[in-house]
Amino acid sequence: MRRETRPAVLPVVFAAIFALAPARAAFCQMPFAVLGARQAALGGAAVALGDDPAGFMNNPALLNPAGTSYAGSLGVLATSGADFYPLVKGVAGNDPAELATPGSPNAGAVRANLAALAAPGVGALAEHHSGLVAVTNGWGVAVSYSGWNGAFARPDLVHVQSGTDPATSFAANTSVAAFRALSVEDYAISRAIPLIQGNLMLGVTGHYLRGTAGIKEEDLFTTGTGRLDDFVRRGSSGGIDRTRSRFSWDAGLLVTIGVLRIGAVMNGINRPQFPYDDQTTSAGERGRTVTIGQQTRAGASVKIPGTGLTVAADLDLRANETLVDGLSSRVAGGGLEWLISSFALRGGLSIDLEAPDRPKVLSGGLGWQSGTFRADVSATYRSNDGALGGVATVRVGI
């Protein structure tokens, strides 16, 4: 009797966890991180996809209950919010002393750019994720590295006038470009338990995290501009860093009904926090922390019999804050996969429902399989700013 009653309790516990998620306030400070080229190509659909040894990093319930396999993945993506980067380029390279000269032809445009940069949620984000995973008989282990970056401006809107008055002159303007970063070394172990003849999978992942939170500032008038992803990731080097160790855990479930899979996951349930260094020269960062969790996502996938087609979609159930104040993220995305012999063609679309302009991220990818070896690549393109990203994954099964 005990063995029959214990599994009945577990789904109730998991259901309670996920039911609470949409009703609680948004306090995550990292968007949901999807690992894998296949998932990235399908618009970020990940939590109900399966058929992938690295899938448990997106939802621990996706662990294969039998067999052994390995995977490695590497990817990067940069995005911009509210025309942030064009505004930065409109300020950088100007000489404040020249702007303070009466009749300066650039003063009006720079003043307008600084005012626009001061609005909440104006900034840019970047992510990069890499990892190695191994799966055997319902257990999974992973070593991964993830990085989140945010760039924004702290414009000085007082010193924006011509003339020599030190209280208002452009020559005394102290506007800065600010960069925040969090990099995390993640050592994870997962376990999945099949119930109801494998039609219900419950999974849990424990993480040991080594997280480094960094902050850096540069003069906005002299900061270098180039590729967006390089610019955003400046906070990862040359700044003031602080490293802390934390433990975290995730929980997920997967329900299979014929050709339909429905999944849900909550990451960072205990909300591990990583503080900035108190010695930072930036008063805006003292006493602040970066939080991972509680990202909550649901999704579904369907394999259409006789066609080789799979349709998948995911939705963030709550808004996640980011490293840029006022810039939140809640993504809905999905895509289509078509298997043709040893090849797979994939395409997808995702939309950030929290972004004022709701930019569309187009994605696509290819896969090739020979025996137990499989390689996947994907690329993403953000419609409003042309930001590009890419992911590559290699998988081997035994």
| Per-residue pLDDT tens over the stretch 276-308 | 887 765 656 667 888 888 899 999 999 999 999
Total structural domains within the chain: 1
* Matching residue, tokens 């270098």: 224
What is residue 2's predicted lDDT score, i.e. its pLDDT? 38
Q: What does the pLDDT read at residue 392?
A: 87
> The tokens of 301 are what?
């996938």
CA 146, distance to chain mean position in Å, is 9
In the chain, how long is the greatest CA-to-CA distance? 87
Domain that holds residue 214: 2-397
Instruction: Report the sign of the C-alpha dihedral through residues 302, 191, 270, 57, in that order.
Output: negative
What's the count of helices (H) and strands (E) in the chain, helices before strands? 6, 16
Q: How far is CA 380 from CA 30, 76, 164, 165, in A?
A: 19, 10, 48, 49
Instruction: Give residue-wise pLDDT tens across range 368-385.
Output: 998 888 899 999 887 766
Among residues of the chain, what percentage have pLDDT more than 90?
52
Answer yes or no: is pLDDT of 27 > 80: no
Q: Report the relative pairing of strands 200-219 and 176-195 from DSSP bridges.
A: antiparallel
User: Which amino acid appears at position 361 of this protein?
Assistant: V
- Give which of 72, 70, 77 is closest to 41, Cα–Cα: 77
Computed over every residue of the chain, the mean pLDDT equals 85
CA 197 to chain centre: 34
Q: Up-side HSE of residue 169: CA atoms within 13 Å toward CB?
A: 13
Tell me the C-alpha distance between 145 and 75, whole Å: 11
pLDDT score of 6: 41
When mean pLDDT is compared across 25-29, 33-37, 303-307, the lowest value belongs to 25-29
Q: What is the rounded distance in angstroms from the CA atom of residue 153 to the CA atom of residue 85?
A: 10
Would you state the pLDDT for residue 14?
47
Q: What band does 17 get if pLDDT is binned at 50, 70 and 90?
A: very low
Write the CB contacts of 304 (distance below 8 Å, at least 6 apart in sequence): 259, 310, 311
Of 102-106, 234-238, 301-305, the one with minimum mean pLDDT is 234-238
pLDDT tens sequence across 44-71: 999 999 778 778 889 999 988 777 888 8
Q: Is the pLDDT of residue 101 over 50?
A: yes
DSSP letter for 329, please: B
**CATH at residue 313:** 2.40.160.40
* Tokens describing residue 25: 């306030």
First to last CA, the chain: 37
The pair of structure tokens assigned to 316 is: 């963030």
Cis, bond preceding 39 (omega within 30 deg of 0):
no
Q: Is the pLDDT of residue 236 over 90?
A: no
Whether the CB-CB separation of 282 and 288 falls below 8 Å is answered with no
Phi, psi of 199 (to 5 degrees): -80, -15
pTM of the predicted protein model: 0.83
Looking at residue 5, its pLDDT comes to 39
| Among 16-25, 230-239, 277-286, the least confident range | 16-25
Beta partners for 144?
Answer: 131, 186
pLDDT of the residue at 359: 76
pLDDT tens-digit series, residues 179-188: 999 999 999 9
pLDDT in tens, 323-341: 888 888 899 999 999 999 9
Q: Which residues contact 5 (CB under 8 A, 6 or more apart)?
A: none
pLDDT band of residue 22 (cuts 50, 70, 90) is: very low
pLDDT in tens, 155-201: 999 999 999 999 999 999 999 999 999 999 999 999 999 999 889 99
Structure tokens at 372: 């137990």
Virtual torsion, Cα 318, 322, 327, 330, nearest 10 deg: -30
Compute the average pLDDT of residues 86-106. Answer: 94
Residue 78's pLDDT band, with cuts at 50, 70 and 90, is low
